[in-house]
Amino acid sequence: MFSHQTFLLGSAAYLLSWFFIFRRDFSGSYFSTFEHELTHAIFAWMTLHKVTGLSWTWRDGGECRYEGRGNWLMTIAPYFFPTLLLVPLLLRTILDASYIPLTEFLFGFFCFYHLTSTWRETHPAQTDLRRVTYLFAWLFLPTANVMIYGFFFLMLIADIGVAWQFVLNTWHGALLLLLDTWPTIF
């Protein structure tokens, strides 16, 4: 059973940590840049690209290097995929039920980490967003975020079957909306 209190406690713990520690460039940007570049790398591997290097700095951003042309999914993944939420879900599958409160706390903590880091990374000078175009980002990212966060929450409170059904329903609804509005857009 999902405990809202434990999730909210984890969320509050991250928000307090962010306010006092992570929102400052010297502490927050280094790790969030690493996680951002790691997400690029994960999606590069998922789309069968060979990752040749990762670099990140305190102030000058980072880079994921890979062989091949790349693709839009690799480019935009850090803006909708909360990589660190994999940690509590993995822990939930390998640890016994006595650790469920810990996974819920971590889920709240990492959920708000991703929300704040994505908020800070989303700005007009961001090269990833320019590369995929702002129009595409504004059209794709809301649905992708609803789908991914819905999937993670449903994995936490229900099971994988319910979570996958939600993903399928989200994509089906988005495609129907696109097909219904397509003639009015052009």
Quickly list DSSP for 97-132. Answer: GGGHHHHHHHHHHHHHHHHHHHHHH-STT-HHHHHH
- Give the pLDDT confidence of 46-105 residue by residue, as tens digits: 999 999 998 887 767 788 999 999 999 999 999 999 999 999 988 988 988 899 899 999
Whole-angstrom distance, CA of residue 162 vs CA of residue 155: 8
pLDDT of residue 82: 95
Task: Count CA atoms within 13 Å of residue 27 on its CB side.
Answer: 8
Assigned token pair, 132? 């995929």
DSSP-assigned beta bridge partners for residue 55: 63
Phi, psi of 61 (to 5 degrees): 80, -155
Which bin fits 133, alpha (ψ -120 to 50), beta or left (φ > 0)?
Answer: left
pTM for the model: 0.82
Give the pLDDT confidence of 163-182 residue by residue, as tens digits.
889 888 888 887 777 777 66
